[in-house]
Structure 1
Amino acid sequence: MLTGAAILYALLALVVVAFQIAMALGAPWGHLAMGGRFPGRFPLPMRFAALLQGGLIAVFALVMLGRAGLVSPAPPLWLVWAVVAVSALSAAMNLATPSIPERRLWGPVTLAMLVCAIRVALG
């Protein structure tokens, strides 16, 4: 169960990272991110932010995989719980965003990631 939760987290994270990279490269999906404040293509500073977010989520996936023993080294437990905390914040923000398309797309994804992160953290 722990391994499955870590793999599911990593697969969902891969989708999010791919989305962030696409946004950074100019995909016109601004209505699906950042509360829909930037419809169409992100302005340049937001493209850099998308890359930063994608990189951070990729690191989170490695933390989850490391906790499950699927990659080395295993992260410290405080780092695993930090991923849980950020995942909770992300889920809350995506479920409360004023952008209905963003809420419908990313709300369930981030909520599933949170559930997986909690499962992985609890061992």
Structure 2
Amino acid sequence: MSHQDAAITFTIVAMIIATFQFSLAQGAPFGDMVLGGNKSKVLPKNLRILALLQGVLILFLAFVLLVNTNIVHIMFLANSNFLVWLSFFISALSFLGNILSQSLKERLFGVPMAGILFFTSGVITLY
């Protein structure tokens, strides 16, 4: 897999995850699929704000990877190695958190998604 293919794949999966996070922020009844499944169907307001921020963060990281693989050209983000490594570490932590989740629904949805983000961000980081 080329680093550009990895960035595109990361972005597609990030868009799926961001859509899910934004739906949680709007009150969608998927609270049992996040945070270990310990929440009710609809997240409380403070966690809905967190879901919104997580959606924005994952889209920002996807944008950073698109810039660093020269798919998108924005000078102020070019060669931002720190942000590339940050995307890798956040993806690694997300993957680990989803593996360790007590929620079967979270593992079934989160592990494959986070695994793809972890793998593709690793390809880009090590390129």
Q: In which range does the TM-score fall when normalised by the shorter chain?
A: over 0.9
Residue 31 of structure 1: how far off its partner (Å)? 0.8
CA-to-aligned-CA distance 1:53-108 (integer Å, 9 cap, x gap):
11111111011111111112224112101110111001000111011110111111
Distance change in 2, residues 1:28/1:75 (3 Å): farther
Alignment-mate amino acid for residue 53 of structure 1: Q
Gaps of 5+ in 1: none
**1:24 aligned residue:** 25
Alignment-mate amino acid for residue 96 of structure 2: A
Percent identity over the alignment is 33
- Please point out which of 96, 105, 109 is paired with 2:113: 109
Gaps of 5+ in 2: none
8 A contact 1:67–1:121 mirrored in 2:
no
Structure 1 position 46 matched with structure 2 position 50: no
TM-score, length basis structure 1: 0.96
TM-score, length basis structure 2: 0.93
Distance change in 2, residues 1:99/1:2 (3 Å): same
RMSD of aligned C-alpha atoms? 0.9
8 A contact 2:10–2:62 mirrored in 1:
yes
**1:61 aligned residue:** 62
- The equivalences for 1:93-108 within 5 A come to 93-108=97-112
